């Protein structure tokens, strides 16, 4: 059993903020996880599962045990004429799974290229980008229930996926360890290029009949140009969700702010661009000591070096209040505050 006491979590979160875990345990199989959970040192202690640490903000030291998920493996579960069912261990790096699928010519997750983190966390907030979400390719997942060690299978409907939401982010929070995820991928893929920026990059490259690799490459280049690399500048991607409001509320805000960026959603409501609102409220590129709001993407809070989780949280609170005062909209944090 690999157990570390008073472990430093600084390098295990992409914000790069300091925090300690009372105990840190790594596991790379279900049996190892079960053994850990049965160990007297860990029994009855609060447990937190961590993947790549790219969607968390540590605001204090973690009491209990941080379980670092390293379950490997990508394998085909089933094949049919049109689809392939691929299972990946929760510890697989998400982008490695995307590259594996793209390499095999299996479509469905290429628009989700380069999202940091591990496979096991992908269902947690139903990761999404550039016109696709995990739920579009999701088949089922396997999870271990912490209360009794039972292994359970969750279908897409049991996961209750929504925009940056799932059962695991709400009622299921801290109750399950996701062990593996099965995706249903297309063997004869159709590319999804509805997102304007993808079309622009493909046009610049003179590509008229794009493959999934072309789409993946385009997404990678868009992401590299827009989002800060956490190995250079600490961040956790979008700090807040884009708020979804009624059409009436969106119309009312637009009367005072005609340039506001907003998109209709399939259910008749309107998604407002939080990045636009934060920029309009004057925060873009601002600094508060060692932390700040990114200069190119106002939805991303950054650690310029030496920030603590509390400093970043305090900044997020000020941003939230100022958007509330200016637009009457309450932003919700996407990042998991721990």
Give the residue numbers annotated as catalytic, written as ranges: 164, 238, 334
Per the CB < 8 A criterion, the answer to whether 154 and 183 are in contact is no
How far is the C-alpha of 185 from the C-alpha of 179, rounded, in Å? 19
What are the counts of helices (DSSP H) followed by strands (DSSP E) for the chain? 8, 20
Single residue of 58, 94, 130, 161 touching ligand EPU by CB under 6 A: 130
Site for ligand EPU, residues 219 to 278, rule: CB under 6 A = 226, 237-238, 241-242, 261, 273, 275-276
How far is the C-alpha of 28 from the C-alpha of 9, rounded, in Å? 19
The dihedral sign for the CA sequence 155, 169, 126, 66: negative
Q: Is 180 in the site for ligand FAD (CB under 6 A)?
A: no
From the list ligand FAD, ligand EPU, none, which binds 56 (C-beta under 5 to 8 Å, kind-based)?
A: ligand FAD
From the list ligand FAD, ligand EPU, none, which binds 226 (C-beta under 5 to 8 Å, kind-based)?
A: ligand EPU
Q: Is 68 in the site for ligand FAD (CB under 6 A)?
A: no
Q: Which stretch binds ligand FAD (CB under 6 A): 155-163, 174-182, 183-191, 208-216?
A: 174-182
Q: How far is CA 203 from the centre of its chain?
A: 29
Q: Is 118 in the site for ligand FAD (CB under 6 A)?
A: yes
Main-chain dihedrals φ then ψ at residue 297, nearest 5 degrees: -145, 100
> Shortest approach of ligand EPU to residue 35 CB, angstroms?
34
How far is the C-alpha of 211 from the C-alpha of 85, rounded, in Å? 20
From the list ligand FAD, ligand EPU, none, which binds 297 (C-beta under 5 to 8 Å, kind-based)?
A: ligand EPU
> Shortest approach of ligand FAD to residue 334 CB, angstroms?
7
How far is the C-alpha of 161 from the C-alpha of 114, rounded, in Å? 21
Q: How far is CA 65 from the centre of its chain?
A: 22
> Shortest approach of ligand EPU to residue 54 CB, angstroms?
8
How far is the C-alpha of 18 from the C-alpha of 306, rounded, in Å? 9
> Shortest approach of ligand FAD to residue 175 CB, angstroms?
9
Our CB check for ligand EPU shows the closer of 29 and 324 to be 324
């Amino acid at each position: 059993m690999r157990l570390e006491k008073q472990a430093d979590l600084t390098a295990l979160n992409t914000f790069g903020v300091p925090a300690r875990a009372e105990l840190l345990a790594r596991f790379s199989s279900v049996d190892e996880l079960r053994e850990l959970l049965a160990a007297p040192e860990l029994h009855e202690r609060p447990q937190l599962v961590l993947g790549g640490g790219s969607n968390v903000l540590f605001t204090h030291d973690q009491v209990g045990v941080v379980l670092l998920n390293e379950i490997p493996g990508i394998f085909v579960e089933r094949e049919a004429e049109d689809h392939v069912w691929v299972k990946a261990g929760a510890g697989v790096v998400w982008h490695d799974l995307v590259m594996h699928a793209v390499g095999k010519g299996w479509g469905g997750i290429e628009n989700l290229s380069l999202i940091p983190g591990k496979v096991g966390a992908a269902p947690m907030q139903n990761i999404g980008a550039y016109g696709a979400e995990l739920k579009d390719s999701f088949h089922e997942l396997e999870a271990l229930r912490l209360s009794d060690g039972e292994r359970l299978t969750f279908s897409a409907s049991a996961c209750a996926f929504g925009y940056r939401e799932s059962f695991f982010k709400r009622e299921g929070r801290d109750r399950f360890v996701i062990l593996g995820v099965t995706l249903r991928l297309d063997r004869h893929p159709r590319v999804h290029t509805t997102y304007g920026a993808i079309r622009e990059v493909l046009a610049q490259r003179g590509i008229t009949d794009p493959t999934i690799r072309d789409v993946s490459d385009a997404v990678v280049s868009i992401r590299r140009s827009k989002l800060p690399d956490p190995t250079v500048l600490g961040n956790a991607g979008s700090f807040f969700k884009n708020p979804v409001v009624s059409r009436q509320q969106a119309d009312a805000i637009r009367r005072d702010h005609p340039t506001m960026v907003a998109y209709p959603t399939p259910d008749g409501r309107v998604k407002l661009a939080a990045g636009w609102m934060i920029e309009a409220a004057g925060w873009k590129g601002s600094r508060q000591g060692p932390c700040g709001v990114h200069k190119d993407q106002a939805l991303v809070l950054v650690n310029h070096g030496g920030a603590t989780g509390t400093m970043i949280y305090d900044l997020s609170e000020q941003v939230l209040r100022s958007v509330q005062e200016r637009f009457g909209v309450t932003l919700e944090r996407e990042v998991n505050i721990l």
